[in-house]
Amino acid sequence: MWLPGSHHLELNTHLSPGPPASAPQGDLLFLLDSSASVSHYEFSRVREFVGQLVAPLPLGPGALRASLVHVGSQPHTEFPFSQHSSGEAVQDAVHAAAQRMGDTNTGLALAYAKEQLFAEAAGARPGVPKVLVWVTDGGSSDPVGPPMQELKDLGVTVFIVSTGRGSLLELSAAASAPAEQHLHFVDVDDLHIILHTLRGAILDAMQPQQLRASEVTSSSFRLTWPPLLTANSGYYVLELVPSAEPSAARFQQLPGNATHWTWVGLNPDSEYDVALVPESNEHLVRPQRLRVRTKLGGMGLGAADGGAGPQVSPAPPTEEAGPQRVVISQARPRSLSVSWAPVQAALSYHVLFGPLQGGVAQRVEVPAGRNSTILQGLAPGTAYLVTVTAAFRSGRESALSAKACTPDGPRPRAPCPERPDARDRGP
């Protein structure tokens, strides 16, 4: 289990008078869950977090531009890319944003966000990096996977901040790879913990010299990168290393004017570490690395530089849906009781749990006839992320995650006391 990767506390930010001459260019779109599934208190904390995140960024016509879109029954643009030209102006606009309420139609909002990110009428600019930051309580009323994949296939870098009980597996698949660098599970009152890490990652994603993966299928994916060399100044070495079998590494040498390559003949549902190593005879060009996971099903591209485009994996059948609710009870300083709605077709379950602030994750196997277990050996006064996964005969797995807190003292109490105006949001 991976967990939020930074513990920097930022109490004050200093606003610069404008972006420096060397500031990165890019379009940054914030997608906020503004539906009725989010309490007013939670929305206000998220709004504060986004304002703090964006204030020090180098925003301006020749640098970054930001836009904010609400998730509700219908998507709504709070402000387009072209409206504000400084971090301070964007911060003020974010603080003034009002919650929209309604249903949580995130898939509809993602399709709308794709249009905004590439529409010049919305102030988007062609040829600059695109970054989406989706802040969610973990739930959606409509499918998220297909529209999110379309965004990633177009080269959009997707960061996800989940403040609720969303499925770890589904959100990991929705975020850009590697998920541990693009997905954060964090309580709404602890969002400040990831400010420094997320802001730095956004700026890194806006750098033009970036290796990207797209058109990911079960047996292939396409790599693209900007021109770093010329045909006369050097060449590239591409490395492909299966995470589960490093000895099976593959290498490919390409001329200095190459800007893309497609790896084929890969294993489905497998992680690969990729490196682009520019070998220049004029100056040092740093290697670029990323991690890509192939899909469960579908067919790969037909050739090293072609193909008919991405093949979408079939959705799991409804009888292979995962746990619909995870319930934490009997919280004690060193143990928690966890139960879930039984899944009829499941062969077995496993429960993964670890502290939200970092530490060693543990795994408990549970047979199909049971739908509860007791997690032991916990630390008092600690917040945990608990993920219940149902395994099926087809090899598929489906999961749901929940947060839980152990009490400080010997007397048991309800896990994770409610914040002002908070309420049960369901799975």
pTM over 0.75: no
Question: What is the token pair recorded at 302?
Answer: 């037909």
Which pLDDT value is given to residue 325?
76
Cα separation values, 139 from 64, 85, 383, Å: 30, 33, 20
The pairing of strands 183-185 and 288-293 is: unpaired
| Statement to judge: residues 383 and 276 lie in one domain | no
CA 358 – CA 376 distance, rounded (Å) = 17
| Statement to judge: residues 324 and 398 lie in one domain | yes
| Statement to judge: residues 371 and 391 lie in one domain | yes
Question: What is the token pair recorded at 197?
Answer: 């890490």
- Answer for the pair 93, 78: CB distance below 8 angstroms, yes or no: yes
| Statement to judge: residues 80 and 154 lie in one domain | yes
Residue that the structure tokens 């746990």 belong to: 323
338 occurs within a structural domain: yes
Which pLDDT value is given to residue 301?
34
Domain final position from 173, 205, 237? 205
13 occurs within a structural domain: no
- Answer for the pair 27, 59: CB distance below 8 angstroms, yes or no: no
Domain final position from 135, 170, 205? 205
Question: How many domains, the chain?
Answer: 3
CA 143 – CA 423 distance, rounded (Å) = 24
| Statement to judge: residues 35 and 179 lie in one domain | yes
| Amino acid letter, 207 | Q
Question: What is the token pair recorded at 163?
Answer: 């403040």
Which pLDDT value is given to residue 297?
62
| Statement to judge: residues 145 and 99 lie in one domain | yes
| Statement to judge: residues 201 and 131 lie in one domain | yes
- Containing H/E element for 68? strand 64-71
| Statement to judge: residues 199 and 264 lie in one domain | no
| Statement to judge: residues 104 and 228 lie in one domain | no
Which pLDDT value is given to residue 409?
67
Which pLDDT value is given to residue 326?
81
Domain final position from 139, 174, 205? 205
285 occurs within a structural domain: yes
| Amino acid letter, 388 | V
243 occurs within a structural domain: yes
426 occurs within a structural domain: no
| Amino acid letter, 333 | P
Cα dihedral 410/416/421/427 (nearest 10): -140
3-state secondary structure of 229: coil
| Statement to judge: residues 325 and 399 lie in one domain | yes
Give the structural domain span for 221: 216-293
Residue that the structure tokens 């619909």 belong to: 324
427 occurs within a structural domain: no
234 occurs within a structural domain: yes
List average pLDDT for each run of 10 residues in the chain, which is 427 residues long. Answer: 38 41 78 91 94 90 90 94 89 93 92 90 86 89 88 87 81 84 88 90 79 86 85 89 90 89 90 90 78 70 33 43 76 88 84 77 86 90 86 80 79 44 36
| Statement to judge: residues 135 and 278 lie in one domain | no
CATH code, domain carrying 364: 2.60.40.10
308 occurs within a structural domain: no
CA 3 – CA 348 distance, rounded (Å) = 25
| Statement to judge: residues 199 and 222 lie in one domain | no
List of residues 6+ apart from 100 with CB closer than 8 A = 34, 35, 70, 72, 73, 76
Which pLDDT value is given to residue 137?
85
CATH code, domain carrying 123: 3.40.50.410
